[in-house]
Structure 1
Amino acid sequence: MRAVPVPEGADVAVAVLDAESGESASYGDGRFDTASIVKVDILATLLLRAQDEGRRLTATEEAYATAMIEHSDNDAASKLWRAIGRAEGLDAANERFGLTRTEGGEGTLWGLTRTTAVDQLTLLRQVFGPGSELDGVSRRYLSGLMGRVVRGQRWGVSAAGDGSGWALKNGWLPREATGLWVVNSIGRVTVGGRGCLVAALSKGNPTWAAGIALVEGAAVAAVSLFGVEDAAG
């Protein structure tokens, strides 16, 4: 993978899957706070619970899900966090999804869920399939919301694509104790008709903008492993 400039004191991890070949690669095995990328996991958990109960989401649940994913609404996320049983519910679903190093945040602190880039790639495989615990209707619903995030949040892994098809969720969190930023991005990008799943996580960034630049650089470098390095220019 091509070198990515990392700000002093910052850390980054990235994982990528080429959907065409099934090949995957990763860099960095540290654990990171999720910030708002956990909202994908929250909704995946809710959808799995609904499947188990033999039902689809209610109109209220769908309203919260739309606000949570498309607008990154935190109040909606808190409501659905409670609906899934908080960390206990998330962790139980993640065991079924195959996430082995992700742990739900304590109490109401869903944004402090801890995860790895490889686990987030595993989650993306559940969202985009095949071989998912989620059925086709659930996968299309969740990935569809990720393809409609508001314009101001279309940064991150999308930098590694050609703009012809993407679906993503970003997360960012300034840490009060240090003033440093957690900035993460996960999703699917398309390059010349070829799909890639990408998860880029970072922490210790001096600014929000520096974090965005870091995860975008990591995503571009990761996708370049599959011979599509001119994806983002």
Structure 2
Amino acid sequence: MSARLRRNPRGRTAVRGVLMAATAALLGSGALAPAPASAAPRATARVTAAVLDLDATGRTPAVYGDDSPYDTASIIKVDILAALLLRAQDSGHPLTAQDRAQAEKMIEHSDNAAANALWRRVGLAPGLAKANRRLGLTSTQGGPGGRWGLTRTTASDQIRLLRAVFDTAAAGSRPAALSDGSRAYLRTLMSRVAAEQSWGVSAASGAGWALKNGWLQRDTTGLWDVNSVGRITSGGHHYLVAVLSDGNASMKDGVALVERTARAAVSSAAR
């Protein structure tokens, strides 16, 4: 399920424009005024997007920005559930009622206690790495110990994960890691996220989307990681979209950046 990456100069320009506009707004508000010499320098938000048009003839995702690792925050919960479903497939037994209840809380409501339990069930970072080899991910490193939110990933690897869930097109002779039933279950939960968590890549969508968002304030800097991944529809096409960001001054700023970037990236990919 791995895919080559297509670099899009126009897309990079569009995303760069989003970042420049965000910086200009901060300057205009005085938020980026020169800091006193004794103050630590304020970090600048960064963002990367990856888009795959599922209805196009090519199967190569476009990447906008630097495809370097970011903290996952709660988008890792999709990967955790995929790993759990692989374990169930291997055992020949469906998820238990408790597993399903925790999975639904974890995806639909981003419940962290449920994620803690399922992270342990899949074997922490080593178990995730084992599952990701089967899912085709190549650039995702599980967080240390119980800190699943500090898993590191790239936008292109998130497209690989989304393909494992949403892409029904034949991908060579290699069979899909997730069964049809497992993929349908993940898609259903991602289409039922709580209303207050329906922001993110859905901003670039018409009717019909499925997503998972993640947000995390870093203790060391006070800045925010804000991410969104999922499947959307736009202009009659279905797209897989991953937008990762960090260094945001607030969650609100991060959500706005992710949504502007998603719209710009999908618009560029559609040209």
**TM-superposition CA deviations, 1:13-70 (whole Å, max 9, x none):** 1100000013420022110000000000000000011111112111110000000000
Residue 112 of structure 1 corresponds to which residue in structure 2?
150
**Corresponding position: 1:141 with 2:192:** no
Matches within 5 A, 1:53-72: 53-72=91-110
AA in 1 matched with 2:181: V
**In 1: Cα distance, 2:167 partner to 2:97 partner:** 25
Residue 197 of structure 2 corresponds to which residue in structure 1?
153
AA in 1 matched with 2:62: A
Q: Once the 2 structures are TM-superposed, how far is the Cα of residue 10 of structure 1 from its aligned partner?
A: 1.0
Structure 1, gaps ≥5 residues long = 229-233
Aligned to 1:213, what secondary structure does the other structure show? helix
Residue 127 of structure 2 corresponds to which residue in structure 1?
89
AA in 1 matched with 2:134: R
TM-score (norm 2): 0.81
**In 1: Cα distance, 2:89 partner to 2:242 partner:** 26
AA in 2 matched with 1:11: R
> Contact 1:129–1:139 (CA<8 Å) still a contact in 2?
no
Residue 49 of structure 2 corresponds to which residue in structure 1?
14
Larger radius of gyration: 2
**Total equivalences in the alignment:** 227
Structure 2, gaps ≥5 residues long = 1-10, 24-42
Aligned-residue identity in percent: 57
Residue 18 of structure 2 corresponds to which residue in structure 1?
4
Residue 212 of structure 1 corresponds to which residue in structure 2?
255
**In 2: Cα distance, 1:195 partner to 1:149 partner:** 19
Aligned to 2:117, what secondary structure does the other structure show? helix
AA in 2 matched with 1:225: S
**In 2: Cα distance, 1:39 partner to 1:23 partner:** 25
AA in 2 matched with 1:120: Q
Residue 61 of structure 2 corresponds to which residue in structure 1?
24
> Contact 1:68–1:77 (CA<8 Å) still a contact in 2?
yes
Q: Once the 2 structures are TM-superposed, how far is the Cα of residue 93 of structure 1 from its aligned partner?
A: 0.5
Residue 118 of structure 2 corresponds to which residue in structure 1?
80
**In 1: Cα distance, 2:234 partner to 2:55 partner:** 11
Residue 231 of structure 1 corresponds to which residue in structure 2?
none
